[in-house]
Amino acid sequence: MTMDGQWYTEEWAGQGSAISLKITRKLHDEQSPYQRIEIYDTENFGRLMTLDGLVMVTDRDNFIYHEMMSHPALFTHADPKSVLIIGGGDCGTLHEVLKHPVTEVIQVELDERVTRVAEQFFPALTASNHDARARLRFADGIAWVTEAAAGSLDVIIVDGTDPIGPAAGLFSEAFYKSCWRALRPGGILAGQSESPLFHADLICAMHGALRAAGFADVRTLPFAQCTYPSGWWSTTLAAKGTTLDRIREQATNARPFNTRYYNLAIHQSAFALPQFLRERLDGQEGAS
């Protein structure tokens, strides 16, 4: 990360490219036990949160990511009642999940400071934190899901940081095996799966690890996300003992609740993969 006068720049590691946002004010800067947390006011993107110099959330475009991390999985599951979010410290994913008639959402975020800072600077994202169905826990999500009761969850959403440091294990076969065990039959996992353009190797490795962990159907859904590396991001869904091509009728109703990006057509079209990624995944799955 560099601050050049009024510009906040995140260099995209190893890609010879970067994103810059014009800053008007720095609002917060602290070193938590896990990472550096900074908050800025920007000229055109509202507030910005960075963790260890990487863009996490802006007011302007976070809705795309948080809706795509939540609604495809929740409208695919036949009747989602108990949901686990791993990571998700800014609470935007939690806010979206609670739009559904779930009975309980447990959020296991490693760094409590991320949530407390988000509560101070992103009131819209944290508006549901006191919902009676929300259970905010602050711990390592890998250990938490390993100890979770077998067959106790309907949906697991892995809203972690990039696969480095404490988040690296969130992309491993061992972790996915723990998730598979914690899910009931018919359960759905959704994991943020980075950039199709920059991180196709990681996406292929995720598919391999998810299938080795027992998930029968695995699909990556790309979507535009302008402030993340390459401007193109993705979520990867995995189904336990069911398929991902059934979208519950509620998604087809005239929008059961307010969204700004997600709708049925977006969900259905997101399964269409760019040819380069489709060939990589077909080749891999054909080989397995």
Site string for ligand SAM, 75-104 (x = CB under 6 A): -----------xxxxx--------------
67 scored as a contact of ligand SAM (CB under 6 A): no
| Contact status, residue 171 vs residue 197, Cβ threshold 8 Å | no
CA distances, 177 to each of 72, 150, 174, 204, 288 (Å): 22, 11, 5, 17, 18
- Find where tokens 């269409």 sit: 272
Nearest-approach distance from CB 101 to ligand SAM, in angstroms: 25
Given the complex with ligand SAM, which of 173 and 284 has the nearer CB atom?
173
Distance of CA 154 to the CA centre of its chain: 17
Contact of 48 with 57, CB cutoff 8 Å: yes
- Closest contact distance (angstroms) between CB of 51 and ligand SAM is 6
Q: How far apart are CA 69 and CA 30, in angstroms?
A: 27
Determine which residue in the list 72, 80, 141, 163 makes contact with ligand SAM, applying CB under 6 A.
Answer: 141
- Using CB under 6 A, which of 42, 161, 227, 236 touches ligand SAM? 161
Q: Does 222 bind ligand SAM (CB under 6 A)?
A: no
The one catalytic residue in 61, 154, 159, 162 is 159
Closest CB to ligand SAM among 154 and 162? 162
159 noted as active-site residue: yes
Distance in Å, CB of 158 to ligand SAM, minimum:
9
At 170 the three-state DSSP class reads helix
Contact by Cβ (8 Å): 209, 176: yes
Subset of 24-53 contacting ligand SAM (CB under 6 A): 34
For the record, the structure tokens of 135 come out as 């259970």
Q: What three-state secondary structure class fits 29?
A: strand
- Binding residues for ligand SAM, rule: CB under 6 A, are 34, 56, 65, 86-90, 108-111, 114, 140-142, 159-162, 166-167, 170, 192
Give the catalytic positions in this structure.
159
